[in-house]
Amino acid sequence: MDAPTRPHAGPSDLAARSLRQVWHPCTQMKQQAKLPLVALSHGAGPWLVDTDGERYLDAISSWWVNLFGHANPRINAALVDQLGRLEHAMLAGFTHEPVVALAERLSALTGSVLGHAFFASDGASAVEIALKMSFHAWRNQGHSDKREFVCVRNGYHGETLGALAVTDVALFRDAYDPLLRHAHVVASPDARLARDGETPIDVARRAAAELDALLTQREGRVAAVIVEPLVQCAAGMAMHDPEYLRLVRALCDRHDAHLIADEIAVGCGRTGTFFASEQAGVWPDLLTLSKGISGGYLPLSLVLSRDAIYNAFYDDDTARGFLHSHSYTGNPLACRAALATLDIFADDDVLARNAVRAARLTQALAPLADDPRVRHFRHRGMIWAFDAMLPEAPGAAGAFAKRFYTEARARGVLLRPIGATVYLMPPYVLDDGTVDWLAQQTLAAFDTTMTHDMEVPA
């Protein structure tokens, strides 16, 4: 579990310089000034090391992107090789081996049901592409009335305007609501919503029934339904039964709407299968990938589509084409990192090894499942989560999240609760000793946080 040592930069004013010049993401900068930034020097495997030589276990994979550790030698070698060949070229009118090979291999992983990869750089961009593809495909097929979208309550799909329109997280979207084209919001299949006597499958069926009613009411007007398969991550790792995906697929077929699977956070093995949709035995019409696809190295996202959608744009008329572009679409370096990532999956039997690793961490975290201060301990694949029992007071969840983050960091672990929800989403490289240590530190941080007087805003 040891991180390789390296001479550190020594005391530094890097954090202070950052506060002066960098506008940090998802951050109220006035509050950040009260909680010191971690000034990083380097990373090695699952560890991040700061400029003072302190190390932190990256238990959330640097916002869910890092799959095989920092400074992974195999991904590094692939990038070094690619740097000597081609760093970038526009993909309009040109192509190159990394982008073609990556598109081929991802399509093969869907059994060739999905293909025609369209590349971008970040998750929100991929969602924008999928939404535009759906609407435009219907228009090209003579169904211009299909211009409405359906999303799931508490779902998150990104923070550009199109992606925000199908996002139902008030903290992110409320300020920009006047700018957005509103989507229909239907019930979440979150298993935590079970009524007395209900199973997760019952919750899934109840949520699907609400979707069926909406699609019936808006018959002929809905272009697509967008879902996060199996886990709604930003909703506090809300997990649902695969039955929901099966039912949504059937409903989209019955009502002639596209199904968009947002696998940006849940793809690339995170839920136990390479694609989360596999666990339901269905494929969407459009599938978005980002985050882990490049191993956490470089910005890369893409949309995979069914032939029917691709063919709706295939025409002599330029205006019927999908005239969307990004300057760095299909960047060779990012694609080469993704190919190296897929090589590791194939060569190291990663999914099977993750199942063993996950069983050990689940067992090590078992005391939380029986802790009376915990609700809804849950797990799927390489994602764990539990909800802290907190007082019914405004600001309690935020105070808990800040305190837990501070306590975990003091113990050398990077964990960032989502309100009252603590989650773990570590990279796929933890050995047994590190797994056990992570569980111990998580338990200790939770216990200390729950016994500490947290400052709750008045």
Question: Which tens digits make up the pLDDT trace of 352-362?
Answer: 999 999 999 99
What pTM does this model have? 0.95
pLDDT at residue number 455: 60
Interhelix angle 432-451/396-410, nearest 10 degrees: 130
Q: Provide the 3-class DSSP secondary structure of residue 116.
A: strand
Superfamily covering domain 18-36+50-60+349-453: Aspartate Aminotransferase, domain 1 (3.90.1150.10)
∠ Cα 63 69 75 (to 5°): 110
Q: Where does the chain hold its CATH 3.90.1150.10 domain(s)?
A: 18-36+50-60+349-453
Which parts of the chain register pLDDT below 50? 4-11, 458
- What number of other Cβ atoms are within 10 A of residue 374's Cβ? 17
Strand partners, 151: 185
CATH architecture of structural domain 74-348: 3-Layer(aba) Sandwich (3.40)
DSSP β-ladder status, 258-262 and 222-227: parallel
Binding-site annotation: residue ranges for pyridoxal 5'-phosphate = 123-124, 262, 326-327
Q: How far is CA 29 from CA 24, 63, 395, in A?
A: 7, 19, 18
DSSP readout, 187-214?
A: ----GGGPPTT--HHHHHHHHHHHHHHH
- Residue whose entry in the numeric block shows the structure tokens 């339904």: 225
CATH 3.40.640.10 domain residues, the chain: 74-348
CA distance 61 to 308: 36
The two structure tokens encoding residue 159: 């923070």
Q: Are the beta carbons of 243 and 204 closer than 8 angstroms? A: yes
Residue 1 confidence (pLDDT): 59
With H, G, I as helix, E, B as strand and everything else as coil, classify residue 85: coil
pLDDT tens digits along 192-204: 999 999 999 999 9
Q: Are strands 231-232 and 238-239 parallel, antiparallel or unpaired?
A: antiparallel
pLDDT of 62: 97
For residue 185 the two structure tokens come to: 């919001």
Of 24, 60, 91, 84, residue with least CA distance to 302? 91
Helix (H, G, I), strand (E, B) or coil at 158: coil
Kindly state the helix (H) or strand (E) to which residue 151 belongs, with its residue range: strand 148-152
- Give residue for tokens 């996060």: 228
Annotated binding site for substrate: 63, 156, 291, 325, 416
Q: Which parts are annotated binding residues?
A: 63, 123-124, 156, 262, 291, 325-327, 416
pLDDT of residue 454: 60
Are 277 and 287 in contact by the 8 Å Cβ rule? The answer is: yes
**Three-state DSSP state, 434:** helix
CB atoms within 10 A of CB 447: 15
The pLDDT of residue 33 is 79
DSSP 160-196: SHHHHHT---HHHHGGGGGGS---EEE----GGGPPT
User: Which pLDDT belongs to residue 26?
Assistant: 87
